[in-house]
Structure 1
Amino acid sequence: MKKKVAYLYVIIIVGCFSCGPKIIQEPIVFDEERSNLTLSYMEEHYGIRQEEPTIIPKMIVVHWTEIPTFQKTVDAFYEANLPEHRNAIAGAGSLNVSSQFVVDQDGIIYNLMPETTMARHVIGLNHCAIGIENVGGSDLPLTDAQLRANVKLIKYLKKKYPIDYVIGHYEYQLFEKTDLWLEKNDSYRTVKTDPNKEFMEEIRKRTKKLDIKPLPKG
């Protein structure tokens, strides 16, 4: 794991049986450089100019990492600048990818950054979206423990914020004709398959009592 210089590293478990899931704090770097990169990204891609890189969450986007371990996921998100090997999205800015939450294969939930701070995890919608990354991918199936953890986390976040939508990453382009879509670069798109349709179907079954809007028609 990368050395955390000048950062106090504390693991804190928050939550209780009655008020939400247990969440372990595992902060990535969010210093002045990352803040400025985030503000620049918001202005360039969404036309949003503000003093702090904060968001009002209206959406939760569920992902998988395509990275085999939690630690490697944290390492990938940790630094402020996008690594050189991320050629497919490098042209859209040097802000590194990240997510507010990561759920490990055993179902443990980690919080990497404040829920209302913008993370780069979904094209066109970062300005209003909380990201949940799940350790796994096409070669490492997501687990029942992760499914249960995602459902608990979604219910918890829905109580805190005006969440209208819960989507899989592969569904993000359905929002291009909605008011939530602010992406100014018409050529900036990537094809996604995560976290797979089966996982999202199960999430929707287990959260159907929540006041969540249906997806826009494609």
Structure 2
Amino acid sequence: MPRPPGDAPIHVDHLPYVARLDARPIDAVDLVVIHCTELPDLATARAYGEQVRYPASGTGNSGHWYIDRDGRIVEYVPATRIAHHVRGWNPRSVGIELVNRGRYPRWLDAAHQAMDEPYPEAQVDALLALLAHLQDALPALRHIAGHEDLDTERVAAADDPAQQVPRKRDPGPRFPWPRVLAAASLARLP
């Protein structure tokens, strides 16, 4: 896939198991899902992505592209492969992960649900460049959603099982949806 417009080249660093992920035609992708890593840095996100979580296939959980705080874009999985990034929506979607601490390291504690880290300007600029590129490269791409829009399950809080917390909250309340939607001609789901 060629680089997006502007100063946002895509660095290809595929996960070791990428060839074991199911293949799909490029025109099967009509949805991009925005995530945040909820991890401290890109190196930790890479280590997490390399972990095999599905022994039968020898694959793990990962988005397709990761955008670091400085705007660097790294491709872990090509769009022609189905990555495991959002339950129930993977066959038709690609995932973009923004490096952001989110609720790290106490994701499911009721007392730690705030997501206070802002998304830096360089990271948002790179996201907009990548979205523009994907709209050119993926002919069926029409929709965008946050992970929190699609995975709405609530679970018992780790620090107080009597309380329920969202399993997924990303990209979270600091994500600049108005700016992204104004720049990308994609309809937000649901």
Structure-1-length-normalised TM-score: 0.64
1:115 positional shift = 1.4
| Matching residue of 2:122 | 145
| Matching residue of 1:4 | none
What percent identity do the matched residue pairs reach? 24
Separation in 1, partners of 2:136, 2:31: 13
Separation in 1, partners of 2:168, 2:4: 34
| Matching residue of 2:134 | 157
Deviations 1:152-210 (Å, cap 9, x if unpaired)? 11111011111111111111158xxxxxxxxxxxxxxx732111244223211222xx2
Using a 3 Å threshold, how does the CA distance of structure 1 residues 214 and 26 change in structure 2: closer, same or farther? closer
- Aligned partners of 2:86 and 2:151 also within 8 Å: no
| Matching residue of 2:167 | 191
Separation in 1, partners of 2:182, 2:169: 20
User: Number of paired residues?
Assistant: 159
Which 5+ residue runs of structure 2 have no aligned equivalent?
Answer: 103-114, 153-165
| Matching residue of 2:23 | 53
Where 1:21 maps in the other structure, the secondary structure is coil
Q: What amino acid is aligned across from residue 191 of structure 1 in structure 2?
A: R
Deviations 1:62-114 (Å, cap 9, x if unpaired)? 000011111111111014x119xxxxxx9xx9741011100001011001121
Where 1:15 maps in the other structure, the secondary structure is coil
Q: Which structure carries more helix by proportion?
A: 1
1:116 positional shift = 1.6
| Matching residue of 1:15 | 3
Separation in 2, partners of 1:115, 1:206: 22
| Matching residue of 1:104 | 68
1:201 aligns with 2:178: yes
User: 4+ residue runs of structure 1 moved beyond 6 angstroms?
Assistant: none
Separation in 1, partners of 2:48, 2:151: 25
1:142 positional shift = 2.1
Aligned counterpart for 1:70 among listed residues 17, 38, 42: 42
- Aligned partners of 2:8 and 2:71 also within 8 Å: no
Separation in 1, partners of 2:145, 2:4: 26
Separation in 1, partners of 2:133, 2:173: 22
